């Protein structure tokens, strides 16, 4: 009795085609996700309503894209972009982020946009 003409363990032409189609669909879906995330960031930067900003950020967070507001953290030039400084007499504040000027975003650990921050500097 013969059930197929292929040796055990080999991929049929249909399996290869299915894998190729699945890979193409995955690539397309990921490209479309990246485009939608870029569009959301563009819209977020132009939103005038705090409610709209909050809703877009929530939607992005639902798909793994989180906002980065490092206020009070130690300034790290590898993760933050300095937009300005503010002098302080408090030595404990020197080098900390005083304020986030432009919110940054991270997609599952990968930086999409570094936050632009104001940093405390000693007088």
- Mean pLDDT in each 10-residue stretch from start to end of the chain (123 residues)? 55 76 95 97 96 97 97 97 97 97 96 98 95
**pLDDT, tens only, 28-57:** 999 999 999 999 999 999 999 999 999 999
Q: How far, in Å, CA of 4 to CA of 18, rounded?
A: 19
pLDDT for the residue numbered 5: 55
So what's the pLDDT on residue 25?
Answer: 96
CA-wise closest residue to 41 among 112, 96, 98, 94: 112
The domain segmentation of the chain, as residue ranges, is: 13-63, 65-123
Say what the pLDDT of residue 2 is: 52
DSSP string, 19-75: HHHHHHHHHHHHHHHHHHHHHHHHHHHH---HHHHHHHHHHHHHTTEEEE--TTSBP
Model confidence, pTM:
0.78
Question: Would you tell me which CATH number, out of the four given (3.20.20.20, 3.40.50.300, 2.30.22.10, 2.60.120.10), belongs to the domain 65-123?
Answer: 2.30.22.10
Beta bridge partners of 119: 85, 97
Place of tokens 């206020």: 71
């Amino acid at each position: 009795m013969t059930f197929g003409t292929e040796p055990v363990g080999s991929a049929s032409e249909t399996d290869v085609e299915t894998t190729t189609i699945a890979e193409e669909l995955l690539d397309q879906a990921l490209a479309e996700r990246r485009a939608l995330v870029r569009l959301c960031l563009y819209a977020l930067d132009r939103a005038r309503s705090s409610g709209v900003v909050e809703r877009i950020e929530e939607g992005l967070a639902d798909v793994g894209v989180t906002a980065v507001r490092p206020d009070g953290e130690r300034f790290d030039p590898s993760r933050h972009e300095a937009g300005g400084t503010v002098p302080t007499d408090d030595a404990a504040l020197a080098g900390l982020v005083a304020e986030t000027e432009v919110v940054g975003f991270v997609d599952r650990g990968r930086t999409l946009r570094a936050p632009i921050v104001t940093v405390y500097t000693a007088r």
